Amino acid sequence: MKGVGRETEFHKQYEDAVQAFRSKLGATYPIIIGGIEVKSTEGTFADTSPSDTNVTLGYFQKGTREDAKRAVEAAREAFKGWSLVDYEKRVAIFRKAADYMSERKFKLAAEMSFENGKNRYEAMADVDEAIDFLRYYAMQLEENQGYVHEMSKLIQSEHAKSVLRPYGVWSVIAPFNFPLAIATGMTSGATITGNTVVLKPATDTPLLSYELCQILYLAGVPPGVVNYVTGSGSTVGAELVENKDVAGVVFTGSYDVGARSISEFENSSPRPFVAEMGGKNATIVTEKADLDKSAEGVFRGAFGFGGQKCSACSRVYVQSSVKDEFVKKLTEKTSQIKIGDPTEKDVFLGPLINESAYKNYQQDIEDAKKVDAKIVFGGEILKDGKYANGYFVKPTVVVDAPEDSKIVKSELFVPIVVVEPFQNLEEAISKVNDVVYGLTAGIFSNDKNEIEKFFEKVEAGVLYANRTSGSTTGAVVGVQSFVGWKKSGSSGKGAGGPWYLPQFLHEQSQTFYD
């Protein structure tokens, strides 16, 4: 009964937070530069809910290049003091921020369901991940004693040490799909190590980044250390990449935008650009797999948050002898999905994030039909009744798509999964690797040798075997480093892992003699 009681309380607190937020819809939010709230000369834009575009969550500033420049300057000035703050004091601030965020978790989850369409469970998981980032990076900095390492000596009077020191101002460019977790991970990674930041949220999800900044300020982060500027990628985003006073950029988004930004940023001088840039993630199901577990894992990996995750499973290679049975099980699960308002208790799949994603889904379905792929479930938009004012679509299972087609090779970021057969494991692994991305991949098999071969030969940064909670998704901070290979990432070091924080630091050798 204790479990039942906790679940009841969870739903009550979430639903109370939903009602509380409804009473605050339509507020106007500022830009924050150097601790000062600022209004843009260009006015505001409306942040509407993808579930119902008639619902305006709030009005946010249309930031300009000048706003971004002033934010960089404020961060540059704040760096002079923040970089000298003892690492233990920074650790204490971020642990306090984690506590404050934990106290507000239902409020934040409810706002997220409104803003990007995550159901209550996914929204809460996003908040929990953000809290984990704050605590894990605090622990990492503490365990490494601020990244000061005593070195060897050549003579007795020599005393040398290696010290990792912050770079300066970092641009933090956050995505819509994990609007609190990823924004928190990138922002805390940069600032806990002594850098200062200008945070630009995705224009679809400015609210959660605003809430993050308020929590950091409350915890004791000084003015100017974290600056918040909303606006478009063509103005604010461009300035944060092109500004010569920015020492580093941390970015999560598409490969096209990331690659272009890296080129522009590194054009004038070598500077760190930490990027995670999407994936085309595959799951292998062998004839030695438990097909019920396989279908569950693929279902969750493919359709969790409507496939709008860079780790989403969008390809499945199933051994020919069990393909038909697997497709039947996957289709049965998919057909039972409840689609609708993500604040409702039993809804699994909410809307796509915006009109662009909505149109992309329709185009992807048309592309699949043009290459004679077979749609065994889904492929439809939903516009009637309760779906009329949102971006709702049916999760889609496709088979028999040509291996060289767009639906198989390109990142889609919508709820479409392609199932294809294979004869032997070597063939499946070859197909998994035959894309430009290398973020996540999964396998279902009860044969340890097959799993070992998968781990040894698949070219991706995050690998899972027999993961029913999501065949390619669900990395946990401090458990699975989230790192992309190939065109999925720029640094080869993963968020939520032991090598993430040093990316925000450069080494200095310090030696003195008696």
Write out the catalytic residue numbers: 276, 310
CA gap 29, 10 in Å, rounded:
29
CA gap 436, 451 in Å, rounded:
23
Contact 377, 398 (CB under 8 A): no
Contact 434, 422 (CB under 8 A): no
Place of tokens 């697997």: 326
- Type of residue at 462: V
Please give the backbone phi and psi of residue 295, each rounded to the nearest 5 degrees, phi first. -65, -40
The DSSP code sequence of 320-370 is HHHHHHHHHHHHHHHHT--BS-TTSTT--B---SSHHHHHHHHHHHHHHHH
Retrieve residue 476's tokens: 């946990």
Helix/strand/coil percent split, the chain, to 5: 45, 25, 35
Distances (CA, A) of 444 to 288, 462, 465: 8, 15, 6
Contact 197, 97 (CB under 8 A): no
Q: How many CA atoms lie within 13 A of 478 on its CB side?
A: 13
Residue 263, classed as helix, strand or coil, is helix
Residue 128, classed as helix, strand or coil, is helix
Where b means 16+ CB within 10 Å and e means fewer, 414-434 reads: bbbbbbbbbeebeebbebbee
Burial of 406 (0-12, 13-18, 19+ CB in 10 A): middle
CA gap 101, 95 in Å, rounded:
10
Retrieve residue 272's tokens: 């760190």
Contact 283, 376 (CB under 8 A): no
